[in-house]
Amino acid sequence: MWVFRCLFVLYGAGVYFTTQASTPQQEENLALRGKTVQSSNYHPYVAAYAIDGQPSTFSSTAASTDNPWWRLDLLDSYHIAEIVITNRVSCCGERLNGAEIHIGNSLENNGNNNPRCAVLGAVVTAQSVSLFCGGMRGRYVNVIIPGSQKILSLAEVQVYKKVHQAVMSLKFNSSLNVADPAESGKLLYQMTTALISKGHSNFTLTWTKLPQKVKPKSKQGNPAKSAPSTAFTGASSQGCS
Ligand SMILES: [Ca+2]
């Protein structure tokens, strides 16, 4: 009997197995494929400059308006784990102080009535701030500065969805020599096939550590006289912890 451990990571509807932990920063920035609008435009600093991937460019609302806001439409609803706000370059970083970030699916009050994720404190010019929204779900991400005679400028808004992950252990029987890269690869293929047969799809399975051989216990809890070396019997997600 062999024992192995692998990392079980879910990406949206798909299932992945990987040897490396995944963090939101390593995921796709959903904002890059979104659409933006803001309450007013200070030419030529359009709302889309806040999602162009360039921290040197920034959006800006018109000079001195009340409650200026900026909205990102992700085109679908996501569980959002993290938002990274980058302040504009060159000057005026303090203008972003007190900005509120809202997430939700409603367009009531242009989306500004959706639940609030965070309120920015003091942010200096060109500074990036990470906001962890605890998996709040929504299609729209709004940034609003409450108050009169305000200007809202944003260099970048990055949005990362929540990643579900868990570590699992499996026990299985196999006659393959897992120390041999070719045979361990064959074993992964067999296990992948077994998982697919259990209904999983769109995943990759790799080792986080090579299997360790263990002696099966007898019914009384003592090691058996001889360890079976049978053909692979299959793995399933039910064997995961
Ligand atoms: Ca930009």
Give the pLDDT of the chain (241 residues) as one tens digit per residue: 343 444 443 333 333 333 333 333 457 899 999 999 999 999 999 999 999 999 999 999 999 899 999 999 999 999 998 999 999 999 999 999 999 999 999 999 999 999 999 999 999 999 999 999 888 999 999 999 999 999 999 999 999 987 655 556 667 777 777 778 788 788 778 878 887 888 776 566 777 666 677 766 665 545 444 433 323 333 333 333 2
Q: How far is the centre of ligand 1, averaged over its atoms, from the C-alpha of 111 (Å)?
A: 22
Q: How far is the centre of ligand 1, averaged over its atoms, from the C-alpha of 238 (Å)?
A: 46
Ligand 1 is an ion; its neighbours by CB within 5 Å are 49, 52, 54, 57, 155-156
Residues in the chain: 241
What letters, b where the CB count within 10 A reaches 16 and e where it falls short, cover 88-120?
beeeebebbebbbbbbbeeeeebbbebebbbeb
Quick one: 26-162 is in which CATH superfamily?
A: Galactose-binding domain-like (2.60.120.260)
Write phi, then psi, for 221 (nearest 5 degrees): 90, 0
**Nearest CA to 74 among 38, 39, 105?**
105
Q: How far is the centre of ligand 1, averaged over its atoms, from the C-alpha of 15 (Å)?
A: 33
pTM: 0.63
Domain ranges, ordered by start, for the chain: 2-22+165-239, 26-162
